[in-house]
């Protein structure tokens, strides 16, 4: 009789079925989820011993001579846990003695596990805080430009989490104009997972009611078929021009909402003056935008009229701000929505991130979730997270960020848990070179990812099916008991237990653990959360024992939201936390910073990484490096679903038939993509659903570099060999790695024999 264990991943709730020998028989979606993600099929790869780190390992030349070079090329020596713990503690102590706690960069990214206790980011930050602190990072790679910009425009009290709910859109929206589309592949994942994926049903409801979606994107697949969405193909990087032209047409035909601009915004006059060309002599007309974008001027005028004649919602995806001048698409969309005047109305206005994750557009719980406290970091040093290479290469140099001037800290030890910077970061050859300046790189990792294969010390950690935890998401009603399904593989240990033992050597175990085991922390977190719910919100939930026995606690379903509805209802009672108390279409504060790459209002600054770029003659194709369909980020790249989509083990690159024909490429060929930064191999997929001149190569293939004589060649197909680590602007320092200019050719040589998922030779033994 199979034994079943409930669990949760960022792509959904699932059940693991075991036989009497504790071997996995099946992994299946929760019965509550009527639209489960296919990514559940990757779960069994968590137990692939070929890819797992079997025990602690140390890079040979670093162990013997503390060599700073050779990362990614060296072999590894196995260690016993006692020696590994001592080695890490001594390395931390050495860095502290020379540079202080700020000499340690606490790297992490919060996607390692859907569990609230075994959340690697919380674990490492609490540990480093217990040791005196660390240099930290601000914001994230997903929407770093928006996170800095939007508080200036709509106030810090209006977060992304308060955007209009899908249920409200499904009921009221007549036209959803989606710049960047609504990519359904992205809606299958969210931080903390989803007990049920509801976006498909809500889109179907919108369509059945007669609502219309127009997806503005170079990729047809970004238009959700379930809603019969229209695909409006656009040249990459020209969305701002089209948004400005839509606004221009509304103003010129006197269809803009003057009352809304006067009452709820500041800067409307400056915006209209800019649209008419008073500042630069260029009217932002539909004809002007048509020449840039490839969308016919008459179509732009038609869309502009539809926006003002129907209940319309203007959405901009995260992907559009993940580029140079990434603030501008978000600002321009908010400006256009203000000119239309429907912000704060049911089904209308502005949205950011719809389709970028599954929980965006789902209302959040009123209270907090169970949380593992991180403590206080006494170190002030920080970087915007996408600036890690600059920090490593330019310690002590000044950088500008959000109106301030700061200095990159001097960091000699990077301690990473729960993330893979060789997935998230751009210009990987430059990043790998920057690591050569480090004294040490310590990594907690279940698998031999590229980050593990560049580390000096690798400590094996458990996966989510090998430990107990509490699963919870910001917008899902179910709090889930994540019961351990199988024992740890090899010598893997929980992050918490590893940190507790290192803390003991350093003399701070009590400060880190507070005398609690993992099981005691789970109970403490749940009880503390339960009491807070009762005290602050009057919500009662079952006690921990009942929760663990039943497997879940269900919270009241949050009420749907409409973005800025309270503000529109009474702007005097509920002003925005901006200098004017209103929407800042023109920001005096941002203008005062004097940034030419982010002026005081939504501005056309050009289309980087497009046909307009001066490098386009040499590299004529625009590569879009987007999120994968077959995994979350780079997680479980060796899983069944991920591998099934590859071509001879390489990530597929999609291209239009004309791009392929011009280069004598047929479907399934091995191809080489290259530019001035590097090159990678991929498998060709010919797809008429891409604009001519555009390539799509998803991120997440495990970086596998070889020297092919012309520089770095990633044989697995990681596009971040090609993307630039230039930052969005001096305002945000956000990641700008969503696009790159490249060339493409058929690879007629025998590809190098490499396996991105194989352990280093000495480690495999």
CATH number at 419 reads 3.40.50.740
Give the end of a domain, one of 332, 360, 388.
360
On average, the pLDDT of the chain sits at: 95
Question: Beta-carbon neighbour count of residue 704 at 10 Å?
Answer: 25
Placement of tokens 């038609």 in the chain: 302
Q: What is the CATH number of the domain that holds 247?
A: 3.40.228.10
Same domain membership, residue 297 and residue 337: yes
pLDDT at 194: 86
Residues with Cβ within 8 Å of 421's Cβ and at least 6 positions away in sequence, in order, are 107, 109, 388, 431, 451
Under a CB-based contact definition with an 8 Å cutoff, are residues 592 and 404 in contact?
A: no
pLDDT of residue 765: 47
Respond yes or no: is residue 231 known to be catalytic: no
Structural domain includes residue 683: yes
User: What is the span of the domain harbouring residue 720?
Assistant: 614-764
Q: Do the domain assignments include residue 6?
A: no
**pLDDT computed for residue 156 by the predictor:** 74
Establish whether 111 is a catalytic residue. yes
- Please report whether residue 12 resides in a domain: no
pLDDT band of 159, cuts 50, 70, 90: low
Predicted pLDDT at 761: 67
Please report the DSSP string for 706-726 in residue order. Answer: EE-SSSEEESS--GGGTS---
Question: Are residues 117 and 441 in contact, defined by beta-carbon separation less than 8 angstroms?
Answer: no
- Give 104-151 pLDDT, tens digit per residue: 999 888 788 889 999 999 999 999 999 999 999 999 999 999 999 999
CB 170 within 8 A of CB 203: yes
DSSP string, 329-350: HHHHHHHHHHHHT-TTSTT-EE
The H-or-E segment that residue 696 falls in is: strand 694-697
Residue with more model confidence, 364 or 63: 63
Same domain? For 78 and 175 the reply is: no
In a domain, 503, yes or no: yes
Domain check: are 118 and 172 in the same one?
no
Model pLDDT, residue 275: 98
* Residue 482 belongs to some domain of the structure: no
Q: Assign 363 a pLDDT band (cuts: 50, 70, 90).
A: confident
Residue 289's alpha-carbon distances to 274, 276, 324, 676, in angstroms, are 14, 13, 19, 30
Report the interhelical angle of 120-130 vs 495-506 (nearest 10°): 10
286 and 201: one domain? yes
Share of the chain above pLDDT 90, in %: 88
Same domain as 623, residue 500: no
Give pTM, 2 decimals.
Answer: 0.96
Domain-located, residue 604: no
Residue 601: predicted pLDDT: 98
| SS3 (DSSP) at 695 | strand
Tell whether 356 and 381 lie within a shared domain: no
Whether 640 and 734 share a structural domain: yes
Choose, from 11, 105, 111, 401, the residue flagged as catalytic.
Answer: 111
643 and 504 co-located in one domain:
no
- What is the tens place of the pLDDT at every residue in 493-512? 999 999 999 999 999 999 99
Is pLDDT of 48 > 70?
A: yes
pLDDT tens figures, 276-321: 999 899 999 999 999 999 999 999 999 999 999 999 999 999 999 9
Q: Same domain for 386 and 355?
A: no
Q: Answer whether residue 614 shows pLDDT above 70.
A: no
User: Does the residue 609 lie in any domain?
Assistant: no
Q: Which residue, 326, 360, 394, sits at the end of a domain?
A: 360
157 has a pLDDT exceeding 60: no
* Residue in 109, 141, 231, 331 annotated catalytic: 109
Query: Encoding tokens for residue 534?
Result: 């009762």
Q: Distance between CA 389 and CA 720 in Å, rounded?
A: 14
Are residues 312 and 205 located together in one domain of the fold? yes
* Cβ-based burial of 516 (10 A; exposed 0-12, middle 13-18, buried ≥19): middle
Quick: pLDDT tens for 648-694. 999 999 999 999 999 999 999 999 999 999 999 999 999 999 999 99
Which pLDDT score is estimated for 150?
A: 96
Backbone torsions φ then ψ of 742, nearest 5 degrees = -145, 170
What is the tally of structural domains in the chain?
3
Query: What is d(CA 739, CA 292) in angstroms, rounded to the nearest whole number?
Result: 17
SS3 label, residue 624 = strand
CATH code assigned at 654 = 2.40.40.20
Span 566-580, pLDDT tens digits: 999 999 999 999 999
Residues 197 and 116 in one domain: no
Domain annotation covers residue 371: no
Same domain, 70 and 202: no
pLDDT per residue over 722-737, tens digit each?
Answer: 999 999 999 999 999 9
Q: Are 561 and 571 in contact (CB under 8 A)?
A: no
């Amino acid at each position: 009789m199979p034994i079943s264990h409930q669990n949760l991943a960022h792509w959904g709730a699932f059940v693991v079925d075991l036989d009497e020998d504790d071997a996995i028989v099946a992994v299946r979606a929760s019965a509550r989820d009527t639209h489960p993600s296919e990514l559940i099929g990757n779960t069994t790869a968590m137990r692939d011993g070929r890819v797992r780190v079997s025990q602690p390992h140390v890079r040979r030349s670093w162990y013997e001579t503390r060599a700073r070079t050779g990362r990614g090329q060296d072999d590894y020596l196995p260690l016993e846990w006692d020696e590994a713990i001592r080695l890490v503690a001594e390395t931390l102590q050495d860095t502290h003695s020379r540079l202080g706690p700020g000499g340690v960069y606490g790297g992490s990214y919060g996607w390692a596990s859907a569990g609230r206790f075994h959340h690697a980011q919380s674990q490492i930050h609490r540990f480093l805080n217990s040791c005196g602190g660390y240099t930290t990072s601000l914001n994230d790679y997903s929407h770093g430009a928006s996170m800095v910009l939007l508080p200036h425009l709509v106030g810090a009290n209006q977060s992304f989490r308060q955007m209009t709910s899908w249920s409200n859109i499904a009921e009221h929206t007549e036209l959803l104009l989606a710049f960047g589309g609504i990519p359904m592949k992205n809606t299958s994942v969210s931080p903390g997972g989803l007990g049920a994926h509801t976006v498909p049903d809500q889109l179907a409801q919108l369509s059945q009611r007669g609502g219309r979606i127009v997806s503005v994107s170079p990729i047809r697949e970004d238009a959700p078929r379930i809603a019969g969405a229209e695909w409006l193909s656009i040249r990459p990087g020209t969305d701002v021009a089209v948004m400005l032209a839509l606004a221009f047409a509304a103003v010129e035909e006197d269809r803009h909402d003057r009352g809304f601009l006067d009452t709820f915004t500041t800067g409307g006059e400056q915006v209209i003056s800019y649209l008419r060309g008073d500042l630069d002599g260029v009217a932002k007309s539909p004809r002007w935008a048509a020449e840039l974008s490839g969308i016919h001027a008459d179509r732009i005028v038609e869309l502009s009229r539809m926006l003002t004649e129907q209940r319309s919602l203007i959405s901009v995806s995260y992907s559009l701000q993940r580029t140079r001048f990434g603030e501008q698409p978000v600002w321009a969309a908010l400006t256009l929505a203000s000119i239309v005047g429907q912000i704060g109305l049911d089904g209308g206005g502005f949205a950011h991130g719809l389709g970028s994750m599954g929980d965006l557009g789902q209302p959040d719980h009123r209270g907090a979730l169970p949380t593992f406290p991180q403590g206080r970091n006494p170190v002030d040093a920080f970087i915007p997270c996408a600036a890690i290479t600059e920090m490593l290469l330019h310690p002590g140099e000044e950088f500008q960020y959000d109106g301030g001037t700061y200095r990159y800290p001097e960091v000699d030890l990077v301690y990473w848990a729960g993330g893979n910077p060789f997935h998230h970061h751009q210009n990987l050859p430059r990043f790998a070179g920057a690591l050569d300046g480090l004294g040490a790189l310590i990594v907690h990792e279940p698998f031999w990812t590229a980050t593990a294969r560049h580390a000096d010390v690798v400590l094996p950690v458990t996966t989510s099916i090998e430990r107990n935890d509490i699963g919870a998401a910001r917008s899902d009603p179910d709090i889930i008991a994540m019961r351990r399904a199988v024992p740890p593989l090899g010598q893997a240990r929980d992050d918490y237990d590893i940190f507790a033992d290192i803390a003991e050597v350093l003399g701070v175990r009590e400060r880190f653990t507070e005398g609690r085991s993992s099981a005691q922390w789970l109970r403490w977190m749940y009880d503390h959360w339960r009491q807070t719910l009762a005290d602050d919100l009057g919500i009662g939930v079952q006690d921990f024992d009942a929760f663990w026995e039943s497997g879940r606690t269900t919270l009241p379903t949050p009420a749907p939201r409409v973005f800025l509805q309270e503000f529109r209802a009474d702007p005097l009672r509920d002003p925005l936390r901006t200098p004017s108390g209103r929407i800042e279409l023109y920001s005096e504060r941002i203008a005062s910073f004097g940034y030419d790459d982010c002026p005081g209002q939504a501005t056309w600054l050009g289309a980087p990484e497009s046909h307009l770029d001066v490098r386009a003659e040499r590299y004529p194709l625009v590569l879009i490096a987007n999120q994968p369909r077959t995994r979350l980020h780079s997680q479980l790249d060796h899983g069944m679903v991920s591998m099934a989509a590859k071509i001879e083990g390489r990530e597929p690159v999609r291209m239009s038939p004309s791009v392929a024909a011009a280069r004598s490429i047929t479907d399934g060929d091995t191809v080489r993509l290259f530019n001035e930064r590097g090159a990678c191999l991929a498998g060709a997929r010919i797809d008429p659903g891409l604009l001519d001149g555009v390539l799509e190569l998803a991120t997440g293939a495990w970086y596998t570099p070889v020297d092919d004589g012309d520089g770095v060649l990633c044989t697995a197909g990681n596009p971040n060999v090609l993307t630039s680590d230039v930052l969005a602007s001096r305002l945000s320092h956000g990641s700008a790695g969503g696009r790159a200019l490249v060339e493409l050719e058929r690879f007629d040589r025998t590809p190098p024999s490499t396996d991105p998922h194989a352990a280093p030779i000495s480690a495999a033994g």
